[in-house]
């Protein structure tokens, strides 16, 4: 990596940050590079990146290899069931919602959801991602009865209800976030998705009419982690936020992960403007080069999150393939069904065979997982060089082990339902 000139780094004093970044050149299993702090990332990135994209992506790939030295890239076969589009939150980046009483609003019957689950299982699916709007009239029993019946009928992983939905259920029921989460877990909830994260800076969230503040979103996630419930985290970017806001978002996630260890994966995806009110102001899509730059920054910044997923759904499979050499170790889902991002213009599609071929073309061994990032096996027709599936675990073969949660954080909370001595959050 070429050294910048004194004139280039002088106004930002980036030399210490550059030295830390160079340390990733020696990334290896069991060794931790020094943490790059927020103000150091600001020196590296603002007002424009000081380090060439090729170097950032190469260093992120080295970090990915250090965390996952077995050369495996994972993916999941699942379905995003959107149980209702009725929502009391009027987010200006959303093309999915309908206000209560508006034409086109719906709530799926439980039997319709069961039919969708059976179709998913028939296609080799291991679980269900289920999210919906903030419906003002659905009682908590609608959700708990659904979860309990799904668990009774089918051997699937239930990855459902973002922090925003937990917030909405708290409003409807009068219960605390913790009480809502406990009821959902007791009914069969296995993990929760990171939806509604967007950009965790309230200056941005107020402009986007997000119902939940950054502090509330993070607090609900922390409560879930305290209960032993694993979650993912996301970042939706490219909708008019400043570059500094992206770094602040990553910093807040890293600090929470230091405390809880409960984030099992991070997924950055780019704003899709079609059919959204915000799209009239921010009408251009993020180019692949900018997405890959920030994917690499995310991998290097989130030194305590084991898994990073590249968003082929919003960027396409060509960028997805490049993302696997830019810090990502996961290609996401086949998305048998998805009704939130596609109406906003994300029209990329892929079968399981296509995802597996993309992984192989990038030089990795494809491995199917569930929503908790537990590897389930090589899947159908393993690619060239694919060997037997590793043993169970979120990151089998990761030589760093618990060091993944380094940076001052404690290991994740244990699951009440796990065998003695088995952590809920594995690394």
Q: Global pTM?
A: 0.82
Answer whether 274's CB lies under 8 Å from 343's CB.
yes
Per-residue model confidence (pLDDT) at position 281? 60
The pairing of strands 72-76 and 78-82 is unpaired
**What pLDDT is stored for residue 391 in this prediction?**
32
Domains of the chain: 72-383+390-405 (3.20.20.70)
- What six digits make up the tokens of 363? 């030089």
- Provide the token pair at 70: 């077995």
Q: Return d(Cα 325, Cα 347) in angstroms, integer.
A: 23
End-to-end CA distance of the chain, in Å? Answer: 30
Q: What pLDDT is stored for residue 321 in this prediction? A: 97
pLDDT in tens, the chain (427 residues): 443 333 333 345 789 999 999 999 876 777 788 999 999 999 999 988 899 999 999 999 999 999 999 999 999 998 889 988 777 656 554 555 556 667 767 889 999 999 999 999 998 898 899 988 777 788 999 999 999 999 999 999 999 999 999 999 999 899 999 999 999 999 999 999 998 888 999 999 888 667 799 999 999 999 999 999 999 999 989 877 999 999 999 999 999 999 999 999 999 988 765 555 555 565 577 899 999 999 999 999 999 999 999 999 889 999 999 999 999 999 999 877 544 444 443 454 688 999 999 999 999 999 999 999 999 988 775 444 333 333 333 333 333 333 333 333 333 333 333 322 222 222 2
CA atoms within 13 A on the CB side of 75: 33
pLDDT of residue 427: 24
Per-residue model confidence (pLDDT) at position 348: 44
Distance of alpha carbon 75 from alpha carbon 163, whole angstroms: 24
């Amino acid at each position: 990596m070429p050294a910048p000139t004194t004139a280039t780094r002088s106004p930002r004093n980036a030399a210490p940050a550059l030295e830390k970044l160079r340390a990733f050149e020696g990334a290896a299993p069991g060794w931790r590079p020094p943490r790059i702090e927020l103000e150091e990332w600001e020196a590296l990135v603002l007002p424009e990146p000081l380090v060439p994209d090729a170097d950032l992506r190469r260093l992120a790939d080295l970090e990915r290899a250090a965390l996952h030295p077995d050369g495996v890239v994972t993916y999941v076969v699942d379905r995003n069931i959107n149980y209702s589009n009725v929502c009391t939150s009027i987010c200006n980046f959303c093309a999915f919602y309908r206000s209560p009483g508006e034409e086109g609003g719906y709530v799926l019957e439980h039997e319709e959801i069961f039919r969708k689950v059976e179709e998913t299982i028939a296609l080799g699916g291991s679980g269900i991602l289920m999210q919906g709007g903030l419906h003002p009239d659905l009682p908590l029993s609608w959700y708990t009865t659904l979860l309990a019946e799904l668990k009774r009928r089918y051997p699937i992983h239930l990855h459902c209800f973002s922090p925003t939905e937990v917030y909405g259920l708290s409003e409807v029921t009068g219960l605390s976030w913790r009480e809502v989460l406990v009821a959902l877990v007791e009914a069969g909830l296995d993990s929760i998705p990171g939806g509604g994260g967007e950009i965790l800076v309230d200056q941005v969230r107020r402009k986007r009419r997000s119902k939940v503040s950054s502090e509330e979103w993070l607090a609900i996630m922390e409560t879930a982690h305290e209960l032993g419930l694993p979650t993912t985290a996301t970042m939706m970017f490219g909708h008019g936020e400043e570059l500094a806001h992206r770094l602040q978002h990553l910093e807040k996630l890293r600090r929470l992960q230091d405390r809880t260890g409960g984030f099992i994966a991070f997924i950055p995806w780019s704003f899709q403007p079609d059919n959204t009110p915000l799209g009239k102001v921010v009408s251009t899509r993020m180019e692949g080069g900018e997405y890959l730059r920030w994917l690499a920054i995310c991998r290097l910044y989130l030194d305590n999150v084991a898994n990073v997923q590249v968003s082929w759904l919003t960027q396409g499979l060509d960028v997805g393939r490049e993302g696997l050499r830019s810090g990502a170790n996961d290609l996401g889902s086949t998305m048998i069904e998805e009704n939130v991002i596609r109406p906003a213009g994300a029209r990329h599609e892929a079968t399981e065979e296509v995802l597996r071929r993309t992984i192989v073309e990038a030089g990795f061994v494809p491995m199917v997982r569930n929503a908790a990032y537990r590897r389930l096996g090589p899947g159908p027709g393993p690619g060239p060089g694919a060997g037997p599936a590793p043993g169970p675990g979120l990151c089998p073969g990761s030589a760093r082990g618990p060091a993944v949660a380094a940076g001052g954080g404690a290991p994740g909370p244990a699951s009440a339902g796990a065998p003695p001595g088995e952590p809920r959050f594995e690394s």
